[in-house]
Chain A
Amino acid sequence: MDLKQEKKRKLHIPNDIQSILMVAFTLSTLLIVSVLGLSIYARFSAESREAAAESTDHIMNVAKSSLEDDLYYMREVSDALYYNTIRETDISDSAISLQMNLLYEANKDRIVSISLFDKNGLLIAGSPLSTVKDNVKISDCDWFLNAVQHKEAYYFSAPHIENIFEDMSPNYHRVISISRAVDLTDGGLPEAGVLLIDMDYSRLYDGFSETNFSGKQYFYLCDGSGNILYHPQSMAIIHGFFKENAKEEAALPDGRYELTYEGGRRDVTVASIAYTGWKLISVTPESSAFIGSTNGRYFLLIALLLTAMALIVINRLVAFRISRPITRLDRSVKAYEAGEKYPDIYTGGSDEIRHLGASIKKSYAEIEELMTSIVHEQEEKRHSELAALQSQINPHFLYNTLDSITWMVEGGRSDEAVAMISELARLLRISLSKGKNIISLEDEFAHAQSYMNIQKVRYKDRFTADIHLPKELENFCTIKLIIQPILENAIYYGVSEMDGDGEIRVTAEKQGKDILISVSDNGVGMTPETAAKVLLPEAHIVKHGNGVGLVNVDTRLRILFGEAYGVSIESEPDEGTRVLIRFPAIEFSEENRKALEAGKIPGQDKSAL
């Protein structure tokens, strides 16, 4: 397990395909939902705020229109009085007072008082009251001074308590004073004066209060410097319980703005009031829009969370659906690796998984086949080697040879006995070869020679044997005991009945990279059909001793060197038989011997099984 995998294992980070898919799907889901949620929130929030601001603007415009209408009306009244009466009439004429009274009576729902003053602030005429308080100096009043300073213009005061006239009743009115400079005629001479109309502010205030919002949105009125003239929370502002951003907002040109005040965002619309320089300002806090409210945000969050929950469940199902075939395939492979008796490799799911499963199944089947074949070949090899080993100590051959030695000794043929004993000893020594399977060709031919020497004595020279190994081939590797079984067959099946005419020849030559050993006899031979069957495994017939014979030699050669090598037979009835043994020419050295003993062919990558 590499470092990365080890780290994941230690941190308990799941690394299976289902978890990886789940994490990937979930993260992408959460990302999409978050992006979508934020987009919806931003869009909806903007739309909601826009709607709330438009609603506020609409209400404010109604209030603006109403105020301007009232102010305009006051101007009209002022103009009417001035142009129709004051300018045309001498101030000593009671027509001014009369006209004032008429105008007042006609408009007493809007007007608190109408009064005319001379340039020094002395009252000329007034309606309904006409006595100025003794502690009030008209010429010091702002409305008077402004009117005098700005001729041809109307001056609109801020709302204030009217306190010019003496009143026998404790009635105080909050008014907006509209003052203007006027031209008077006093005894035929032109004089300057000031016309004052006190407009009832309570009517405006009630109108504002009725149209103003009951919720968090509101509008307020201030002058150009930000001094508040009307505010639904004016008393709270005076007492410091409420703050307003009037100074900053009054300085803004007409239009809609997004501002931040006291930690909260709000939409502000500024509209100028005609004639006065006042500003009507509407305020729509962000929280007044539904989506800006706490509940609105909670609802959106709930919707997004429920969507995320549903998507996560769906993701899990999808991930499971996708990964299940892979998981099942993995489980079946693990079962196979654990050695379960009859594991069934999963071959379902998508095309790719089915293909993978089928391939794995086929691979495992081939492995099984190869394993079986290997086991079989190993067993055959073991069997062959065992059989070969057994042949080394064939009791019949040994008994017969010892018998021969005995009667030689008894017959006083000690030299022959000694010679036979020597041959036997050499035969046994090479047969055993200290347990080695790979010997030199020289030793193998010597073994064959010893065998034939013993057999010739036993068979009383009924045949001749010519065993010749070229010198240059002496030092090549061979599997031991490959010639003797063939010679045995040649004797038993070929020449044993030939009464001295039998000939057995053993030769060797090098053909290319191979060694070819030929064992031929001029015996009875066999048909080609019989020759073909001889090397079949079924021909493994126990006869005359060990029953190893040709099949054994052929099998051992093929097992070690491969299918291209082994034994082949040429035979003709009554002509004789020639058995050819082919194997690779490998020089005899300790290193090569060891390699061959281990099943490896020196100079080749693959090992012989």
Chain B
Amino acid sequence: MKHFFRKNNIFLWIELAIAVVVLLLFISIRYNASVNAEKRVSVIVEKSSDAKWDSFRQGLSDAAKDQNINIVMVSTGELVSAEQEQKLIDREIEMGAKALIVEPAPGERTSGLLQKAARNVPVLLVEADCFGGSYLNRVSFDDEELGRAIGAEVLSDFSGDVSGKKIGVLSGRLNTQQASERLSGLSESLGKPDFRFLLSNADLKGLGEDISSFGSVDILVALDTYSLEVAGANAVQQEGSPALIYGIASSDKAYYYLDRNIVKALIVPDEWEEGYQAMSRTVQLLHHTSASLSDATAGYTVVRRDNLFSEENQDRLFTGSK
């Protein structure tokens, strides 16, 4: 038998090389299988059943196509605390979530709990433009830019000068980072006027007055979709609005008010893009295809009545109307 192998070392090396290649191929197949196995991605956002998230949900779904991802939109109401959010995160991880897409709850402790969760599964943040102290990947809007954009639309209707005008700011919660940044951008673009602050959510106590007093302003700027809808509904109820209404919003109702000329201009954050980018980055984190990803900023569209139904805007805005 030794004669059989004598002087045939080169062929043993060839056999060994082939065996190594076969082994590597097997490992690749196994790796591909594990990579391509269905993965659960849990999405935790405030008031998940709100129509506001329709486009976002569609974006998530479009990005998850061909990736074998099972998207679970966790049913939530108002997220008021980090502890509340932590319970949801822990439950989802327990149920086998391979990644999380999370809208951070307000509060200082949220950062810590998200960092802790990120040790177990990849975590991607949405609607967290100003979420400080986190090393997690984020997809969000440039809220300050949104504020500046709506301010620019206001200025364009007033020939660039709103001095002497009473400007009301309508928001659901003025104490959120999002509202704060948008307000900052708006203020900057309008030349830092004095605002009258109004709350669209009467249940919350805050700096502002009730929405019903908005008639005393000349210009009303809504900083979020809910606020804009409240302003529009109010205007419809009062059969007209003495104030010119502008807003940062994305919903069919908001478009309806624009269409009926109740709202003058809208800054529509591209929720679909936010969802798409969030899921795309989450897929990359799951596949470890990027050691670190840069944060992404979703865009927005400036919409007025005359371009509401343009070919491009029809497709971008009315994602729920298929």
Q: Any chain B CB within 8 A of the CB of A604?
A: no
Q: Any chain B CB within 8 A of the CB of A161?
A: yes
A292 CB → nearest B CB, Å: 14
The listed residue (B3, B4, B11, B22) touching A305 by CB distance below 8 A is B22
Decide if B259 touches A163 in the complex (CB within 8 Å): yes
Q: Any chain A CB within 8 A of the CB of B25?
A: yes
Chain B, residue nearest A16 (CB): B7
Decide if B319 touches A235 in the complex (CB within 8 Å): yes
Q: Any chain A CB within 8 A of the CB of B94?
A: no
Chain B residue contacts of A313, Cβ below 8 A: 15
Decide if B318 touches A236 in the complex (CB within 8 Å): no
Chain B residue contacts of A205, Cβ below 8 A: 322
Q: Any chain B CB within 8 A of the CB of A172?
A: yes
Q: Any chain B CB within 8 A of the CB of A35?
A: no
Q: Any chain A CB within 8 A of the CB of B203?
A: no
B310 CB → nearest A CB, Å: 10
Decide if B321 touches A235 in the complex (CB within 8 Å): no
Contact string, A563-574, partner B, CB cutoff 8 A, digits 1/0?
A: 000000000000
Decide if A170 touches B276 in the complex (CB within 8 Å): no
CA–CA, A214 to B66, complex, Å? 7
Q: Which of A220-279 contact B (CB under 8 A)?
A: 232-236, 238-239, 241
Contact string, B1-41, partner A, CB cutoff 8 A, digits 1/0?
A: 00110011011001100110110011011001100000000
Chain A residue contacts of B3, Cβ below 8 A: 320, 324, 327
| Residue from the set A205, A238, A299 with the largest chain B CB neighbour count within 10 Å | A238
Chain A, residue nearest B320 (CB): A172
Q: Any chain B CB within 8 A of the CB of A109?
A: no
Decide if A215 touches B32 in the complex (CB within 8 Å): no
CA–CA, A38 to B32, complex, Å? 23
Contact string, B92-117, partner A, CB cutoff 8 A, digits 1/0?
A: 00000000000000000000000000
Q: Which of B156-164, B174-182, B249-257 contacts A (4 or more CB under 8 A)?
A: B249-257
Q: Any chain B CB within 8 A of the CB of A312?
A: yes
CA–CA, A167 to B309, complex, Å? 15
Chain B residue contacts of A14, Cβ below 8 A: 7, 10
Decide if B11 touches A309 in the complex (CB within 8 Å): no
Count A-B pairs with CB separation below 8 Å. 113
A interface secondary structure, majority? helix
Q: Which of A1-57 contact B (CB under 8 A)?
A: 14, 16, 18-19, 22, 26
Chain B residue contacts of A18, Cβ below 8 A: 7-8
Knowing A233-B65, A295-B29, say if A309 contacts B321 (CB, 8 Å).
Answer: no
Chain B residue contacts of A312, Cβ below 8 A: 11, 14-15, 18
Decide if B305 touches A170 in the complex (CB within 8 Å): no
Decide if B25 touches A302 in the complex (CB within 8 Å): yes
Q: Which of B281-320 contact A (CB under 8 A)?
A: 305-306, 308-309, 311-312, 314-316, 318-319
Q: Which of A164-213 contact B (CB under 8 A)?
A: 167, 169-174, 201-202, 205-206
B21 CB → nearest A CB, Å: 6
Q: Any chain A CB within 8 A of the CB of B62?
A: yes
Decide if A236 touches B21 in the complex (CB within 8 Å): no
Knowing A214-B65, A309-B18, say if A19 contacts B309 (CB, 8 Å).
Answer: no
Chain A, residue nearest B55 (CB): A235
Q: Any chain B CB within 8 A of the CB of A354?
A: no
B254 CB → nearest A CB, Å: 8
Q: Any chain B CB within 8 A of the CB of A418?
A: no
Decide if A308 touches B29 in the complex (CB within 8 Å): no
Knowing A135-B305, A305-B22, say if A295 contacts B315 (CB, 8 Å).
Answer: no
Q: Which of A128-180 contact B (CB under 8 A)?
A: 133, 135, 160-161, 163, 167, 169-174
CA–CA, A133 to B256, complex, Å? 12
The listed residue (A135, A239, A298, A317) touching B29 by CB distance below 8 A is A298
Q: Any chain B CB within 8 A of the CB of A301?
A: yes
CA–CA, A131 to B21, complex, Å? 73
CA–CA, A308 to B19, complex, Å? 10
Decide if B18 touches A26 in the complex (CB within 8 Å): no
| Residue from the set B18, B19, B259 with the largest chain A CB neighbour count within 10 Å | B259
CA–CA, A455 to B15, complex, Å? 93
Chain A residue contacts of B25, Cβ below 8 A: 298, 301-302, 305
CA–CA, A298 to B23, complex, Å? 11
The listed residue (A26, A161, A233, A299) touching B11 by CB distance below 8 A is A26
Q: Which of B28-87 contact A (CB under 8 A)?
A: 28-29, 32-33, 58-59, 62-63, 65-66
B interface secondary structure, majority? helix
Chain B, residue nearest A134 (CB): B261
Knowing A305-B22, A312-B11, A316-B4, say if A170 contacts B252 (CB, 8 Å).
Answer: yes
Chain A residue contacts of B272, Cβ below 8 A: 235, 239
B4 CB → nearest A CB, Å: 5
Knowing A163-B259, A309-B15, say if A171 contacts B276 (CB, 8 Å).
Answer: no
Chain B residue contacts of A374, Cβ below 8 A: none
Decide if B273 touches A232 in the complex (CB within 8 Å): no
Q: Which of B98-139 contact A (CB under 8 A)?
A: none
Q: Any chain B CB within 8 A of the CB of A294?
A: yes
CA–CA, A201 to B315, complex, Å? 13
Chain A residue contacts of B273, Cβ below 8 A: 239
Q: Which of B181-224 contact A (CB under 8 A)?
A: none
CA–CA, A201 to B314, complex, Å? 14
Decide if A161 touches B321 in the complex (CB within 8 Å): yes
Chain A, residue nearest B1 (CB): A320
Decide if B252 touches A19 in the complex (CB within 8 Å): no
Decide if B65 touches A295 in the complex (CB within 8 Å): no
Q: Any chain B CB within 8 A of the CB of A216?
A: yes
Knowing A16-B7, A202-B321, say if A238 contacts B65 (CB, 8 Å).
Answer: no
CA–CA, A215 to B10, complex, Å? 46
Chain A residue contacts of B58, Cβ below 8 A: 235
Chain A residue contacts of B280, Cβ below 8 A: 241
B79 CB → nearest A CB, Å: 27
Decide if A235 touches B59 in the complex (CB within 8 Å): yes
A134 CB → nearest B CB, Å: 9
CA–CA, A201 to B252, complex, Å? 17
Decide if B11 touches A295 in the complex (CB within 8 Å): no
Chain A, residue nearest B319 (CB): A235
B259 CB → nearest A CB, Å: 7
Decide if B29 touches A215 in the complex (CB within 8 Å): no
Q: Any chain B CB within 8 A of the CB of A393?
A: no
Decide if A170 touches B253 in the complex (CB within 8 Å): yes
Q: Any chain B CB within 8 A of the CB of A80?
A: no
Chain A residue contacts of B276, Cβ below 8 A: 235-236, 239, 241
B121 CB → nearest A CB, Å: 24
Q: Which of B235-279 contact A (CB under 8 A)?
A: 252-253, 255-257, 259, 270, 272-273, 276
Decide if B318 touches A19 in the complex (CB within 8 Å): no
Decide if B66 touches A216 in the complex (CB within 8 Å): yes
CA–CA, A568 to B5, complex, Å? 67
Knowing A232-B65, A233-B65, A235-B59, say if A172 contacts B315 (CB, 8 Å).
Answer: no
Chain B residue contacts of A201, Cβ below 8 A: 322
Please provide the 7 A-B residue pairs with the shortest distance between their CB atoms, ordered closest to farther. Answer: A170-B256, A205-B322, A170-B253, A172-B321, A163-B309, A161-B314, A170-B252
Query: Which A residues form the contact surface with B (CB < 8 A)?
Result: 14, 16, 18-19, 22, 26, 133, 135, 160-161, 163, 167, 169-174, 201-202, 205-206, 214-216, 232-236, 238-239, 241, 294-295, 298-299, 301-302, 305-306, 308-309, 312-313, 316-317, 320, 324, 327
Query: What are 25 residue pairs bridging A and B, where the CB atoms are less than 8 Å apart in the complex?
Result: A18-B7, A19-B8, A26-B11, A133-B259, A167-B256, A170-B256, A201-B322, A206-B322, A214-B66, A216-B66, A235-B58, A235-B59, A235-B276, A236-B63, A238-B315, A239-B273, A294-B28, A295-B32, A295-B33, A298-B28, A302-B22, A302-B26, A305-B25, A320-B3, A327-B3
- 8 further interface pairs, Cβ-Cβ under 8 Å (given A163-B259, A238-B315): A170-B257, A171-B252, A233-B62, A235-B272, A298-B28, A302-B25, A305-B18, A309-B18
Query: Which B residues form the contact surface with A (CB < 8 A)?
Result: 3-4, 7-8, 10-11, 14-15, 18-19, 21-22, 25-26, 28-29, 32-33, 58-59, 62-63, 65-66, 252-253, 255-257, 259, 270, 272-273, 276, 280, 305-306, 308-309, 311-312, 314-316, 318-319, 321-322
